[in-house]
Structure 1
Amino acid sequence: MNRMMKKGVIDILAALCAVSCGTDGGKTRDAAGVSPVSEKTITTLVSQISSPDPALMEKGIRQCASLWRDEDGTEEEFASFVAANYVADPEQKFELFMKLSKANETIQGACNQLMVDLQKPTVLAGPQPGTVDYIFSEYSPYSHLSDDMFQNRIAFITALNFPFFTLEEKNSLGKDWSRLEWAYSRMGDLYTSRVPSEVSKVASKAYADAENYIASYNIMMGHVLTEDGRRLFPEDMCLLSHWNLRDEIKSNYADLPDAPEKQEMIYKIFERIVTQEIPEIVINNPEYDWAPYSNKVWKDGAPVDAEPEGERRYQRILDSFHAELLADPFHPGMPTGIQRNFEGGMEVSAEEIEKLFVDLISSPQVKMVASVIRERLGRELRPFDIWYDGFKSRASISEESLSAITRERYPSPEAFEKGMPQMLQQLGFDKDRAEYISDKITVEGARGSGHAWGTMGRGYNSFLRTRIGADGMDYKGYNIAVHEFGHNVEQTLDTYDIDYYALAGVPNTAFTETLAFIFQKRDLKLLGFDSQVDDNTTLDIFWGMYEIMGVSLVDMYTWRWLYEHPKATAAELRDNCLRIAREVWNTYYEPVLGCPDSPILAVYSHMVNSPMYLPNYPYGHIVEYQIEEFLSRLPDPDDIASEIDRIWCLGRLTPNAWMNEAVGSDVSTEPILSAVSRILGKQ
């Protein structure tokens, strides 16, 4: 559920791409303008400056030259700057590195905390935000930071002494790097292009608007009617799209009254949302009754005319796309948001991601697992069965009884925060370690479904935002909160316990999702139930991969279409997003679940408020299974604390480097495909 606030902050602060250097009259250039530094000056500097690593020195000089502009000084001033600021001595270079690290942590920690505080009125439970609250929530202290670092020349000092390595270079050279060499390379990621502050501000506003739109997209389920006027859901039930609606589908795989009818109703609601046929006045509004099948609306029993939402959902996506277009010219090495997201942010190419996903969702194992689900349900499968929840241990326990436990145990955010040390002890952490971690996490009531917002520096807490009703935390909220708790533990470990601040974090957001999934899988254990990761857990992870990989492909293909049609309107985007969703469904899902042309794969809210974030979830599931398989081989599989401590302090290596350090292999779907075949072969 984490929408990875840390990701958006870092993306705005630093260009996650390589600068593409060419020549123009002997001068280096990038999309932001022509550098006054000639090739002759570069080669002269390379020949005159002594260095224990001449190739690395030349790399730093060339990168620094590519970023230099007329306003930064003349060619002669550039040469003087390089001569005065290049650090050849290893001990002095380490001293410079530590000074830069400390300053970066100070700045990033403070800026992150400023964003946390300014956004509280719009993301936390409380009075309805006003205009001023939304304006402040859009403010980013990072907007001018890159400009400032170039103006005061910290960016140039950094690039000169800690040059950027491409993804290919990191993957090949990194196999022999020490921890310090890895940290030096990550320092080199900070300044690789120059994005004007006005461009960053456009992106901040687009993402904030999308987040605010999604955070209030509630469906008042007590006002949803069947065609014969019945109310299937409690009068006060308010479900956020898509997360809470999806979880309501999952909860109705238990033996509950009207369960199949409720699932079909939510599926119809999903269809109305993605097609934008949903009446705008029923969104987050308890004054109207709505029958999703006929799409009719009533107020106080009288029918009313209601306009459909139209294209608001897709306009938010389009605004984010336009923000990426503005940034594209300043990232010549990765000139599209797609490349920056995958090769830059995830450090995995979109093509590699696509192949991993397609290989799994087209595998024969999908139909094998579907047959098991069909047999358990005793009926033909429906589209919403992509959220089948029957492999989990809790499928035999009613959600009502679980909610009774969670409401009593966690009546408030403060109660959940107080209970975190005990949860960690149940996972094997000793009392002191559990309190050390928990003391660095603050729990707050969320306006939306909840999320984790990580710290960016020691001395600041991570934040767990969770939705808690007036009568306490229901099981849905608890399950999400445990997921977010996993994020916060990762955010704490790889900030407070990392050896070098430049390595703080994880390879990409899939790896924080992995620990969140590991926590979420053990939510019943944390309530005191006997629970273990077994064959059913493997099938559950596999089916979850099948679901979210299709959703991710729709997100990826939609952005690919946008770049092919940059002048598209919101209506055109809507129509083509639905076309893409139906094509993916018909290719990989209709043969298993039926219902040709279902648009259900376009329903995820992340498509709106976190562009191209969705692939992190299935990639995280792949990593999760490999980690779970590794943990299952421990002498005591329930005592996982020491391995969590070890693995999530590896820091921000590249994905395969991290995985090899963690479990001894690359990221791959082969382990879970083999496991599914083994499990079902036993039946």
Structure 2
Amino acid sequence: MKKFLSFTFSTFLIGLVACNSSVQNSKNRMQTTDFIPQAKVEAVIKQLKDSLGDSHAFRIERGVRQVAGQWGEQDGTVDDFAGFCKNSFISDTAKLSGLFSALERNFEVIYGYFHKIDVMLKASLQLEGPEITPVDMMFGGYDVSAHLTDDLYNNKIAFLSALNFPFYTLEEKTELGAGWSRKEWAYARMGDRFISRVPAAVQQDISRTITEADAYISDYNIYMGNLRNENGEQLFPTNMKLISHWGLRDELKSNYADSEKGLEKQRMIYGVMQRIIDQSIPRQVINSDSYSWNPITNDLFDNNGKTVASKSEDIRRYEVFLKNFRAMRQLDPYSPHYPTQLIRAFDGTMEVPQKDVEELFRGLLSSPQVKEVASFIESRLGRKLEPFDIWYNGFKSGGGIPEEDLTAITSRKYPNAQALEEDLPNILIKLGWKPAKAREIASLVTVDASRGAGHAWGAAMRNDVARLRTRVGTEGMDYKGYNIAVHEFGHNVEQTITMNDVDYYMLNGVPNTAFTEAVAFIFQKRDLELLGLKNPNPEDEYWLALDNFWSCYEIMGVSLVDIQVWEWLYANPDATAEQLKEAVISAAKEVWNSYYAGILGGEDETLLGIYSHMIDYPLYLPNYPMGHLIAFQIEQQVRGKNLADEMDRMYTQGSIIPQHWMKNAVGSPISIDPLLAATNEALQALKK
């Protein structure tokens, strides 16, 4: 599940980080509004340079242009602009350090408390409880920080920061960052804060839209006990309710351990997914147990077994997706360095250019290892692969343990959310943390029963709690909920370390969400070990390599679909929901035919369109495969070492750019090569 980032949309809008634009262009000229004449900008720069000397030339030129780019008529006259720059530029090193400390301290106060308000306002939408009401949606969709950007510009704090702390492009950070001190990195991140001035109304609309999309997905459940096969048989437990797509996917994975009905169950789940993608799924079966349903024939039955008329969901899924696009597109005119959501997602938030990400993905998808691993899976299954085998999980240790046996353990161990919270220090101790540090970290994590699939929500100031949300049933936590909880706890541990143990608040966090996904994957892979079920096995590292490879194979294709759809949306901004639906299906087919049809069958298969993140979190999906690659390289780094010590060493780097972070952490940039090499080694060893 994703690291929950609703509040960070506000922070993201307050200060967008630098994009991969031309270094020379940004050195010579920042984009300015029409209000401040270029001649005035040049005159102010010259006066400051003449007064303070060439040693301050770079900061003067960059800072004045940054201020001019955001200054409007409401901020004062042209002469007011000139006076502000001349009076507010700080050349003294000690005074500049003092300004930085004041800004950093007060931003932590503001962001931290706004975050706490946001958590409480969204609680009724995200946590188990009564049915969501319209007023819950109103408060949950309200962004308490929406006016903060306006306020910080109006009171000139944003201009003061932009003037004194230069903005660096991604290219400049890449070129210069290796030689920067920690304080210089913190200054650079302060320079990222105010390069875009987004109106409060736009921020509010985005917050409301994303909240509505999240609520739509969080309540998209299928009552599995109501599914029927062609013989009218019930294959799944009566009380099983699964969220799309995560719950459906995880149930499909679990049925590789069922030699009797597993394959039939998987094909039925596959049928459910296809109905969701093409929207032929009856509305009556979404989050409702009032009817029985055969997803293969799409027949609907009442309590007496009689066929009843059904009404399809039609295009609701794609209406939500389209609304997200239109909301995020509102940022475009306010983002001179990030003119599209694609650029904001890659060059801005991820800080890895889109072309580099796609090159990594296509490199693995087209690698010869794909056919070799697929052949190995076929030999284990004893049948030809089918499209849903994209989720094959038989590489995991203990993969042969029936899920009901695992659920018996987890439900007994964790009858409620409080039991999991009380056990968090023990989990950390098992993973290598010393008892005192384990208790310290766990004291800053709270566990809640989630209405949705689960998520992790970090704090926005030191000594505040991170939140672990997962599903806990009336009979205790089932294995799916536990597996998700371990993943989310990995996020929480990263969030806690990178908030509380990083030296500067401006450097808190990780380079991008792929890095927190890496920790979550590392924790998740040890879920059985934490239950005491993992036996020492010298072949474990080989199985983990194959599992990581196949997970990348799965999610990289999905990510390419997500990217292609957003490219299509920008090429067709006036598209209808029906047209978007066809575009998603077309992109899913194209990617499938390119990289999967020859391996898993199913020419023109649409399965890659099932992922819920496409609907409720714009362009988040590429972070997952990047997280897998990063996690694998980190796994290799920590092998034979203490996981806790290595995590503390690596993650206290904070939010410097990804490639510098990786070089410091594991000695090399993000790459598919270590995983491909390990996959080859694993196949050779396991085929013997």
Task: Classify the TM-score, shorter chain.
Answer: over 0.9
Other-structure match for 1:464: 468
Other-structure match for 1:76: 79
Other-structure match for 1:451: 455
Q: Is contact 2:3–2:513 with CA below 8 Å preserved after alignment?
A: no
Other-structure match for 2:392: 388
Q: Deviations over 1:153-212 (max 9, x none)?
A: 110010011111111111111011011111100011110021111111111111111100
Q: Structure 2 residue aligned with 1:61, among 38, 61, 64?
A: 64
Q: Structure 2, unaligned stretches of length 5 or more? A: none
Query: 1:395-474 counterparts in 2 under 5 A?
Result: 395-474=399-478
Distance 1:380 1:643, change over 3 A: same
Whether 2:2 is the aligned partner of 1:2: answer yes
The offset of 1:677, in angstroms, is 1.5
Report SS of the residue matched to 1:524.
Answer: helix
Look up the equivalent residue of 1:8 and give its one-letter code: F
Report SS of the residue matched to 2:372.
Answer: helix
Whether 2:592 is the aligned partner of 1:577: answer no
Cα separation, 1, equivalents of 2:208 and 2:517: 26
The offset of 1:85, in angstroms, is 1.4
Other-structure match for 1:159: 162
Cα separation, 2, equivalents of 1:574 and 1:509: 27
Q: Deviations over 1:563-583 (max 9, x none)?
A: 000110000000111011011
The offset of 1:42, in angstroms, is 3.0
Cα separation, 1, equivalents of 2:650 and 2:255: 36
The offset of 1:256, in angstroms, is 4.7
Cα separation, 2, equivalents of 1:157 and 1:216: 44
Whether 2:633 is the aligned partner of 1:626: answer yes
Q: Structure 1, unaligned stretches of length 5 or more? A: none
Other-structure match for 2:241: 238
The TM-score normalised by the length of structure 1 is: 0.96
The offset of 1:679, in angstroms, is 2.1
Distance 1:396 1:504, change over 3 A: same
Look up the equivalent residue of 2:43 and give its one-letter code: T
Query: 1:29-178 counterparts in 2 under 5 A?
Result: 30=32, 34-36=35-37, 38-50=40-52, 52-178=55-181
The offset of 1:18, in angstroms, is 5.4
The offset of 1:436, in angstroms, is 0.2
Q: Deviations over 1:524-548 (max 9, x none)?
A: 1111123575110010000000000
Q: Deviations over 1:294-343 (max 9, x none)?
A: 11111222322111101111111111111122211111222111101110
Q: Structure 2 residue aligned with 1:299, among 299, 302, 313?
A: 302
Distance 1:33 1:143, change over 3 A: farther
Whether 2:369 is the aligned partner of 1:371: answer no
Percent of counterpart pairs with the same letter?
A: 46
Q: Is contact 2:196–2:334 with CA below 8 Å preserved after alignment?
A: yes
Q: Is contact 2:173–2:657 with CA below 8 Å preserved after alignment?
A: yes
Distance 1:27 1:11, change over 3 A: closer
Q: Structure 1 residue aligned with 2:513, among 482, 486, 509?
A: 509
The offset of 1:53, in angstroms, is 3.1
Whether 2:487 is the aligned partner of 1:483: answer yes
Report SS of the residue matched to 2:198.
Answer: coil
Look up the equivalent residue of 1:542 and give its one-letter code: F
Higher mean displacement: 414-423 or 41-50 = 41-50
Q: Deviations over 1:422-455 (max 9, x none)?
A: 0000011111000000000010000011100110
Q: Deviations over 1:453-501 (max 9, x none)?
A: 1101013111000100001001110000000000000000000111000
The offset of 1:33, in angstroms, is 5.0
Q: Is contact 1:27–1:39 with CA below 8 Å preserved after alignment?
A: no
Look up the equivalent residue of 2:348 and give its one-letter code: G
Look up the equivalent residue of 1:463 and give its one-letter code: R
Q: Report the count of equivalent residues.
A: 676
Distance 1:229 1:145, change over 3 A: same
Higher mean displacement: 396-405 or 227-236 = 396-405
Query: 1:644-663 counterparts in 2 under 5 A?
Result: 644-663=647-666
Report SS of the residue matched to 2:563.
Answer: helix
Q: Structure 2 residue aligned with 1:252, among 241, 245, 255?
A: 255
Report SS of the residue matched to 1:505.
Answer: coil
Cα separation, 2, equivalents of 1:28 and 1:561: 30
Cα separation, 2, equivalents of 1:562 and 1:82: 41
Distance 1:95 1:582, change over 3 A: same
Cα separation, 1, equivalents of 2:121 and 2:20: 34
The offset of 1:35, in angstroms, is 2.8
Cα separation, 2, equivalents of 1:547 and 1:328: 31
Higher mean displacement: 175-184 or 531-540 = 531-540
Q: Is contact 2:417–2:447 with CA below 8 Å preserved after alignment?
A: yes
Report SS of the residue matched to 1:534.
Answer: helix
Runs of 4+ in structure 1 displaced over 3 angstroms? 16-23, 26-30
Distance 1:270 1:28, change over 3 A: closer
Other-structure match for 1:520: 524
Whether 2:683 is the aligned partner of 1:676: answer no
Distance 1:49 1:110, change over 3 A: farther
Whether 2:552 is the aligned partner of 1:545: answer yes
Cα separation, 2, equivalents of 1:3 and 1:567: 31
Q: Deviations over 1:374-400 (max 9, x none)?
A: 000000001111110100002122211
Cα separation, 1, equivalents of 2:111 and 2:20: 23
Cα separation, 2, equivalents of 1:352 and 1:341: 13
Look up the equivalent residue of 2:472 and give its one-letter code: I
Q: Is contact 1:513–1:616 with CA below 8 Å preserved after alignment?
A: yes
**Once superposed, what is the RMSD of the aligned Cα atoms?**
1.8
The offset of 1:124, in angstroms, is 0.1
Look up the equivalent residue of 1:2 and give its one-letter code: K
Higher mean displacement: 670-679 or 178-187 = 670-679
The offset of 1:19, in angstroms, is 11
The TM-score normalised by the length of structure 2 is: 0.96
Report SS of the residue matched to 2:362.
Answer: helix
Other-structure match for 1:344: 348
Cα separation, 1, equivalents of 2:164 and 2:89: 6
The offset of 1:236, in angstroms, is 1.0
Cα separation, 2, equivalents of 1:306 and 1:583: 31
The offset of 1:7, in angstroms, is 4.3
Q: Deviations over 1:621-672 (max 9, x none)?
A: 010110001111x3xx4x3111111111110011101001111111111111
The offset of 1:120, in angstroms, is 0.3
Distance 1:352 1:43, change over 3 A: same
Other-structure match for 1:199: 202
The offset of 1:355, in angstroms, is 0.7
Distance 1:88 1:27, change over 3 A: closer
Q: Is contact 1:16–1:344 with CA below 8 Å preserved after alignment?
A: yes
Higher mean displacement: 520-529 or 358-367 = 520-529
Cα separation, 1, equivalents of 2:237 and 2:20: 56
Cα separation, 2, equivalents of 1:216 and 1:570: 21
The offset of 1:20, in angstroms, is 8.7
Whether 2:284 is the aligned partner of 1:284: answer no
Cα separation, 1, equivalents of 2:479 and 2:10: 31
Q: Is contact 1:268–1:292 with CA below 8 Å preserved after alignment?
A: yes
Q: Is contact 1:18–1:333 with CA below 8 Å preserved after alignment?
A: yes
Q: Is contact 1:19–1:192 with CA below 8 Å preserved after alignment?
A: no
Q: Is contact 1:18–1:192 with CA below 8 Å preserved after alignment?
A: no
Whether 2:313 is the aligned partner of 1:313: answer no
The offset of 1:8, in angstroms, is 2.8
The offset of 1:55, in angstroms, is 1.4
Report SS of the residue matched to 1:219.
Answer: strand
The offset of 1:10, in angstroms, is 2.8
